[in-house]
Amino acid sequence: MSNARATHLSRRGILAAGGALGLGAVLAACGDDDAKSGGSDKETTAAKSGPWSFKDDRGTTSKADKIPSTIVSFIGVAAALHDYGIESKGVFGPTKLKDGKADVQAGDLDISKVTIIGNEWGQFNIEKYAALSPDVLITTMFDAAGTLWYVPEESKKKILAVGAPTVGISVYDIQLPQPLARMLELAKSLGADTSSATITTAKKRFEDAAARLRAAAKAKPNIKVLVGSASQDIFYVSGSNLSVDLEYFKSLGVNFVEPSAAALKASGGWYENLSWENVDKYGADIIMMDNRTSAIQPADITEGTWKKLPAVKAGQVIARNPEPILSYAKCAPLLEDLAKAIENAKKVS
């Protein structure tokens, strides 16, 4: 196994049960149809204006004479900014499935209208990237060191040498509202009309969903929620710390199954590895399962021990995206789905 592959498994494992695998990006669009398609060389009104600057979560301030019009970003960020009317011209990260359809992390993005720089961990075509003459590269960060997610360390110097500034939005050990606000701030800097009815309605929906989840958790405090992710040999059980969604859900009162500190230590606090024989180690009334294409989906799990779990037998299994698309429109349903599951859950553990 190559070092790159080993790193992939290590990082993906960390995010499989506890966090996320995604980043994203943007492009300023101010109503120009060509610009919204991501496929035109014509500058938008926003792109003609300037100067532009944005201080990211590393404390790094990126500057340009005009608002960036050629944006390359991690697919999840591109999906979030798309919801704000900002389009990326290039993306990297899980974008296209083998059947040609869009990956779940692409959200509502039309992947036929973007240049895919890389579709898997470790893939980043520097020639394609340079050919776009990017104005900025945007991604997320899943550690305290500010590592740019899905930007390969082995080729990072060459990528930076292309000359585009980089922007990193932290999704590490904070609660979901914080990166949501930061993504909206970034979108605004890139030309989004953040006071539009569409955005204000989405934000209100998110706030209402949070109130609903808080009420559901308060009404049924004994409902235990286990967060998992399935691979061929390992079932990952996430702790509620470090992940932006789980930390927030916990603050709203959700009663999560928590692996011990000793069990979490090997993964830096993210998750505990269980063999399929020991998948019943923790009792749970609801199981939230990783819905990314890197994980085995519940319907495809053949292990008998899984099928015997009380929550599985009761049909109390819901999806979770460990890399939430950071727009209010995409995050509101995450809270609504969990609230509904708790409201309807029977005590089975």
CB-facing half-sphere around the CA of 69: CA atoms within 13 A: 21
The crossing angle, in degrees rounded to 10, of helices 197-219 and 328-344 is 20
Mean pLDDT of all residues in 110-118? 98
CA distance 293 to 291: 7
Q: Residue 266 — pLDDT band, cuts 50, 70, 90?
A: confident
Backbone dihedral region for residue 109 (phi beyond 0: left; psi -120 to 50: alpha; all else: beta): beta
Among candidate residues 28, 138, 22, 139, the one with its CA nearest the CA of residue 87:
28
- Residue 110: helix, strand or coil by DSSP? coil
- The average confidence (pLDDT) of the chain is 89
Backbone dihedral region for residue 263 (phi beyond 0: left; psi -120 to 50: alpha; all else: beta): alpha
CA distance 237 to 17: 6
Q: Is 49 exposed, middle or buried (0-12, 13-18, 19+ CB in 10 A)?
A: middle
Q: What is the pLDDT of residue 50?
A: 75
Whether the Cβ atoms of residue 243 and residue 19 lie closer than 8 Å to each other? yes
Q: Residue 90 — pLDDT band, cuts 50, 70, 90?
A: very high
Q: What is the pLDDT of residue 41?
A: 39
Name residue, tokens 């999560």: 256
Q: What is the pLDDT of residue 313?
A: 97
Encoding tokens for residue 256?
């999560």
Whether the Cβ atoms of residue 327 and residue 106 lie closer than 8 Å to each other? no
CA distance 183 to 190: 11
- Residue 296: helix, strand or coil by DSSP? strand
Does residue 34 surpass a pLDDT of 80?
Answer: no
Alpha helices in the chain (DSSP H): 3-18, 33-37, 45-48, 75-82, 126-131, 156-161, 177-189, 197-219, 244-251, 261-265, 304-307, 310-313, 328-344
Does residue 337 surpass a pLDDT of 80?
Answer: yes
CA distance 77 to 223: 33
Q: What is the pLDDT of residue 2?
A: 34
Does residue 188 surpass a pLDDT of 70?
Answer: yes
pLDDT tens by residue, 195-251: 999 999 999 999 999 999 999 999 999 999 999 999 999 999 999 999 999 999 999
pLDDT tens by residue, 197-212: 999 999 999 999 999 9
Q: What is the pLDDT of residue 205?
A: 98
Does residue 35 surpass a pLDDT of 80?
Answer: no
Does residue 319 surpass a pLDDT of 70?
Answer: yes
Does residue 16 surpass a pLDDT of 90?
Answer: no
Does residue 22 surpass a pLDDT of 50?
Answer: no
198 forms beta bridges with none
Among candidate residues 322, 337, 332, 330, the one with its CA nearest the CA of residue 228:
322
DSSP 158-182: HHHHT---EEEEE-BSS-THHHHHH
DSSP 127-164: HHHHHT--SEEEEEE-STT-PBTTS-GGGHHHHHHT--
Q: What is the pLDDT of residue 1?
A: 34
Q: Count of CB atoms within 10 A of residue 343's CB? A: 15
Does residue 131 surpass a pLDDT of 70?
Answer: yes
Mean pLDDT of all residues in 302-322? 97
- Residue 319: helix, strand or coil by DSSP? strand
Omega within 30 of 0 (cis) for the link into 51: yes
CA distance 335 to 210: 6
Does residue 104 surpass a pLDDT of 70?
Answer: yes
- Residue 254: helix, strand or coil by DSSP? coil
Mean pLDDT of all residues in 16-29? 35
